[in-house]
Structure 1
Amino acid sequence: MKLAMSAAVLALAAVSAPLQAASAQTVAAGSDWRTPDPNNVIVVETNKGRIIAELYPQAALNHVERVRGLVKSGFYDGLTFFRVISDFMAQTGDPQNTGMGGSDQPNLAAEFTFRRGADTPVAQSFKAGTNESGWVGVLPVTSQPSALAVMTADRKVATWGNFCSGVLGMARAGDPDSANSQFFFMRQPNASLDKTYTAFGRVLQGLDVVRNIKVGEPAPDPQDKMLSVKLLADLPADKRPSVQVMDTRSAAFKALVAKRQAELGGSFTNCDVDVPVQVK
């Protein structure tokens, strides 16, 4: 099940689990930092180093539920990064390590967009054409204007993840509803995947590891691999890293966004801001 790519993506490549509907997170009063829900954080130990990523059930509930279930079963342990494109992404999650396999679970219906209401605001929103962009947690998103919610039956608007660096997406074949177990880490931004693939998480730490994974279609042997993939909540207390993420709703993050907007002007997108993370 190789990741189907449009002509634009091919051209770019040539050049260069039951689950709560919202992610629980703890934010200290007056703090710029939050502690992500350890049940929505995966710790991926690879032969190149550690990758820590946060999952977003509010953006893709069924995909996150699937990935969490496979992680808890040990399904991903030992699987390779079999297809890695330098300026694009690193794909894994196939028990055959070829791009043609999957789990014994049924394929998933696409979750390219999600419905967002007042309970899920877009942090630091700014205009992006007729829409608005910003962040839900560390996940970069674009949304229909929030003001349109008063005109919809469910009082919500369509929102979708943006495939910036570090975003996790679900691989699929040509059928939009063919995602199963394979997923990929974005090595660089690629907006052509927005609204055509399901974005379900983002790297908190280890983007350098993602970018250091051996490149190739297929990647040359011996392929780099995920030695183990665990939920942060399932790690023994003495081996569990402490993770703090800057709250994208905070004044400190607002200042970071404003600085980058001033530097880049009209070319600014939400892919241009790295969300600070502390891991101990």
Structure 2
Amino acid sequence: MRSLTRTLVLSLSLATPAFAAAAQDAGPAAAPMAVATDWRTVPADNLLVIDTNRGRILVEMTPDVAPLHVERMRVLARRGFFDGLVFHRVIDGFMAQTGDPLGTGEGQSPYPDLKAEFTFRRGPEMPFAPVAAPAGSAMGFLNSLPIQTQPTALMATTADGKVHGWGTYCPGVAGMARDEANDSANSQFFLMRQPYPALDKRYTIWGRVVSGLEVVRAIKVGDGDNGMVTAAPDRMTRVRIASDLATTERPVVQILDASSAAFRTLVDGVRTARGADFSVCDVDLPVQVSGPPAPPA
């Protein structure tokens, strides 16, 4: 038995294959006509640049949702901790996991484990854009992150003027791996290849892939827990915060602003196309990436 297990505890049998297949079959929606003011630039300090042997992955981190975990990612990236680490557990239709210096699922950074941030308090200052209203709640986007939350109207009744919220595991969402103990996340993280709502409120979400989801889905499959370790796993070659890169190396990411009219047009089109099967995971936010190309792997 492992003394330290940083792999996901849930079995893939808890997935919802029909939901994943439906989202995959839906395909990306066409971007609506948008003007310059409809685009939001991701702050460089919240942009994690993950270069891999498969290509570049850009993650918008969400400190409003998981400040402790975002700060840990910044610290480790700035120390070059992730450089050269393999994707040691990759399950097709699920996720790609990395961040273990041992490459076995047993390792971690020298820093203390983190307190879980499965949920957060959403205040009126946070840029929430609702897209659906299931009974007693709302689903939408906090910047690029899909979330579920209590209705905004409840803010008037709470002591802190805020409501309960949590991220939802759509494709591209970045989560933190842990042991069975809730407060045991450290350095290992995973990027979703497909939706997996069974993880909601069970593993801390700290960001979402905004460019390079096709890279995440191309990472070589291998799962040490099930004896399917690949002989030559894919790896991260360099991981940095965009603000730490020289301007000649720094990518600039613009995302369709969820508060814009163009975003509402996009959502309405996806909702019409999906009908009763519509989910927040069906909405693909258009992204523009500029700046220098990624360095060769």
Q: TM-score normalized by structure 1?
A: 0.91
Q: How does 1:65-104 map to 2 (within 5 A)?
A: 65-104=71-110
Match status 1:226 vs 2:231: no
Indicate conservation of the 8 Å contact 2:191/2:216, yes or no. Answer: yes
Between the aligned partners of 2:151 and 2:16, the Cα distance in structure 1 is 32
Counterpart-to-counterpart distance in 2, 1:104 and 1:45: 23
**Pairing of 1:156-235 with structure 2 (within 5 A):** 156-218=162-224, 219-235=229-245
Cα pair 1:124 1:249 within 8 Å, conserved: no
Is the Cα–Cα contact under 8 Å of residues 254 and 288 in structure 2 kept in the other structure?
Answer: yes
2:257 is aligned with 1:257? no
Number of aligned positions between the proteins: 266
1:145 to 148, 151, 158: 151
RMSD: 1.7
CA distance in 1, matches of 2:101, 2:134: 39
Tell me, which stretches of 5 or more residues in structure 2 are unaligned?
1-5, 22-34, 291-297
Would the alpha carbon gap of residues 86 and 7 (structure 1) be closer, same or farther in structure 2, given more than 3 Å must change? closer
Distance apart, 1:235 and its partner CA: 1.3
2:265 and 2:15 mapped to 1: Cα distance? 36
Contact 1:112 1:197 in 2 (8 A): yes
| Residue identity in the other structure for 2:103 | N
SS state of the match for residue 138, structure 2? strand
Cα deviation, residue 90, structure 1: 0.1
% identity of equivalent residues: 49
Q: Supply the distance in 1 between the matched residues of 2:57 and 2:114 (Cα, whole angstroms).
A: 25
1:246 partnered with 2:256:
yes
Q: Which runs of 5+ in 1 are unaligned?
A: 17-28
CA distance in 2 between partners of 1:124 and 1:147 (Å): 13
- Tell whether the 8 Å contact from 1:81 to 1:91 is kept in structure 2 after alignment: yes
Identify the residue that residue 111 of structure 1 maps to in structure 2: 117
SS at match of 1:63: helix
Rounded to whole Å, the distance in 2 between the matches of 1:9 and 1:236 is: 43
TM-score (norm 2): 0.86
- Residue 14 of structure 2 corresponds to residue 9 of structure 1: yes
Whether 1:47 and 2:57 are equivalent positions in the alignment is no
